[in-house]
């Protein structure tokens, strides 16, 4: 992607128009909205729209900025030069926040597959795998989804750096759910970073510590153009303390909606880039931590990375728009809110598709009382994937049960003639029998 066009200097435009007696009333008397036809435009996009009659693009930009400045809310995040970041609750922000409040937290109506404890763990594990894979792919992991899913479900060791990144992300997302009630601290951030980067760094000692003065870190593109030059290493200790206070709600004293706070936390760590690598993955993990901490429990099942991955340039541009336009976080907030809204929608659509696909099979299996809910789930999956291989470990992970329970389930299915087993090395593999549907009709 190209670096966005930097907006013209506000002070320079002000000097140009301050003595224009005809122009001043037009800019200061007319009420310009902070958005243009419902879109919060950066200068990079504004120049492709026709300005109001009597104004050129720079004058129009000045008028928009005047209106935005009157609405800004400051946050306790400063750039490396000490200038504050700020944002506006511009439309459709309040509407989307209301949708998230209604659809991702509290006592919301959700499909039985998620609310039923007998099936909930399948969707939980599936969502963790999805987020682990797509988050890693955003950072360069090259493994396919099928191979990565097989690695996690079978419990085998990663074969390369890409698979290690995915496994690390999977373990991190599991850990986020366990630590959501802990206040954020430097030590907790370091622990998360260690999980994210385990065995993936050129210098293993860089995991779970700040980058040093001698470790120069820049965000660059494939042509080595610098997109972001983070704050110097000697600022990181103080900035991390402020970030943790912000995440824990100690600052500022004024109210910030929890979702906005989580989005800003995501931006904050990514902006500071306190580590030699793994910064953006750590930032996304902190976003999930804060959402779950504020009881947006549906985010156990939502993958924002799969939405971001569909258009990664938009993700990067949201950062750059903020940096190049006077630290205006509104661009990043609006982008992230749209990602959340789409991720929630995709979850609902995914569950609807799965429900319809499995309904017929479940109707068939419902009468088979000799099988427990885990066995019925495996057989439902096996009917759709006749060449799938199952292991004690994969069954254990998929249903979040102890090893002995998983072993008993599979051996019982083999005894009933629904699965066949084969030992390869030290591992037993179970596959569906060729006439699985016929075998099911023989069960009581």
- Contact (Cβ atoms closer than 8 angstroms) between residue 41 and residue 35: yes
Report pLDDT for 361. Answer: 67
| CATH numbers and ranges of domains, the chain | 10-71 (no CATH), 76-348 (1.10.3290.10), 369-441 (1.10.10.10)
- Model confidence at 29, pLDDT cuts 50, 70, 90, reads low
**Tens-place pLDDT, residues 240-251:** 999 999 999 999
Mean pLDDT across 271-297: 95
- Contact (Cβ atoms closer than 8 angstroms) between residue 372 and residue 401: no
- Model confidence at 348, pLDDT cuts 50, 70, 90, reads confident
205/362: higher pLDDT: 205
- Model confidence at 223, pLDDT cuts 50, 70, 90, reads low
Most confident of 53-57, 133-137, 206-210: 206-210
140-145 long-range contacts (CB < 8 A, ≥24 apart) are 141/165, 141/166
Judged against a pLDDT cut of 80, whether residue 375 lies above it is answered with: yes
CA dihedral 116, 122, 128, 134 (to 10 degrees): -120
CB-based burial of residue 76 (10 Å sphere; 0-12 exposed, 13-18 middle, 19+ buried)?
middle
Q: Whole-prediction pTM value?
A: 0.81
> Among 26-30, 108-112, 260-264, whose mean pLDDT is lowest?
108-112
Report pLDDT for 78. Answer: 97
| Secondary structure E strands in 65-224 | 73-78, 84-87, 219-220
- Model confidence at 398, pLDDT cuts 50, 70, 90, reads very high
Tell the residue number behind the tokens 């906005």, with chain if given: 260
Report pLDDT for 275. Answer: 97
**Tens-place pLDDT, residues 107-160:** 455 555 565 555 566 667 777 788 888 888 888 777 778 888 889 888 899 999
145/163: higher pLDDT: 163
CA dist., res. 190 & res. 186, Å (int):
6
Per DSSP, the three-state class of 388 is coil
Report pLDDT for 444. Answer: 74
Percentage of the residues of the chain whose pLDDT score is greater than 70: 92
Report pLDDT for 123. Answer: 66
Report pLDDT for 120. Answer: 61
Mean pLDDT across 89-93: 95
- Model confidence at 280, pLDDT cuts 50, 70, 90, reads very high
> Among 19-33, 54-68, 127-141, 321-335, whose mean pLDDT is lowest?
19-33
For residue 222, the tally of other CB atoms under 10 A from its CB is 5
> 60: which 2 tokens?
């129009």
> 42: which 2 tokens?
């950066």
Q: Is 417 left (phi over 0), alpha (psi -120 to 50) or beta?
A: left
Report pLDDT for 273. Answer: 97
């Amino acid at each position: 992607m190209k670096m966005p066009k930097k907006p013209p200097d506000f002070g320079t435009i002000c000097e140009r128009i301050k003595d224009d007696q005809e122009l001043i009333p037009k800019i200061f008397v007319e009420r310009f909205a902070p958005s243009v036809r419902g879109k919060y435009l950066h200068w990079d996009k504004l120049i492709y729209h026709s300005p109001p009659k009597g104004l050129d693009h720079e004058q129009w930009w000045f008028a928009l900025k005047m209106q935005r400045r009157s609405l800004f809310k400051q946050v306790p995040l400063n750039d490396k030069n000490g200038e504050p970041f700020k944002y506006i609750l511009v439309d459709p922000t309040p509407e989307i926040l209301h949708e998230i409040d209604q659809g991702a937290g509290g006592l919301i109506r959700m499909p039985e597959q998620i609310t039923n404890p007998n099936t909930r763990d399948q969707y939980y594990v599936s969502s963790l795998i999805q987020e682990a894979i797509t988050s890693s792919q955003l950072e360069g992991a090259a493994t396919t989804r099928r191979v990565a899913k097989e690695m996690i479900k079978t419990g085998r060791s990663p074969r390369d750096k890409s698979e290690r990144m995915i496994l690390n992300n999977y373990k991190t997302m599991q850990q986020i759910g366990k630590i959501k009630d802990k206040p954020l601290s430097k030590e907790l951030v370091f622990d998360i970073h260690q999980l994210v980067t385990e065995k993936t760094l050129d210098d293993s000692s860089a995991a779970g510590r700040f980058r040093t003065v001698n470790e120069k870190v820049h965000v660059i593109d494939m042509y080595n153009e610098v997109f972001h030059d983070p704050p110097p290493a000697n600022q990181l200790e103080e900035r991390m303390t402020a970030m943790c206070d912000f995440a824990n709600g100690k600052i500022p004293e004024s109210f910030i909606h929890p979702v906005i706070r989580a989005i800003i936390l995501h931006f904050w760590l990514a902006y500071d880039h306190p580590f030699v690598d793994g910064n953006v993955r750590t930032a996304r993990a902190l976003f999930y931590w804060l959402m779950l901490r504020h009881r947006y429990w549906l985010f156990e099942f939502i993958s924002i990375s799969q939405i971001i991955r569909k258009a990664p340039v938009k993700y990067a541009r949201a950062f750059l728009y903020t940096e190049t336009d006077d630290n205006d976080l509104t661009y990043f907030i609006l982008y992230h809110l749209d990602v959340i809204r789409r991720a929630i929608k995709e979850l609902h659509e995914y569950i609807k598709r799965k429900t319809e696909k499995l309904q017929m099979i479940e109707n068939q299996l419902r009468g088979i009382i000799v099988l427990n809910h885990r066995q019925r789930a495996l057989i439902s999956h096996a009917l759709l994937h006749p060449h799938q291989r199952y292991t004690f470990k994969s069954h254990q992970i998929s249903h979040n049960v102890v090893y002995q329970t998983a072993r008993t389930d599979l051996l019982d299915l083999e005894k009933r003639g629904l699965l066949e087993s084969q030992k390869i090395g030290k591992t037993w593999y179970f596959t569906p029998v060729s006439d699985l549907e016929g075998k099911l009709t023989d069960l009581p």
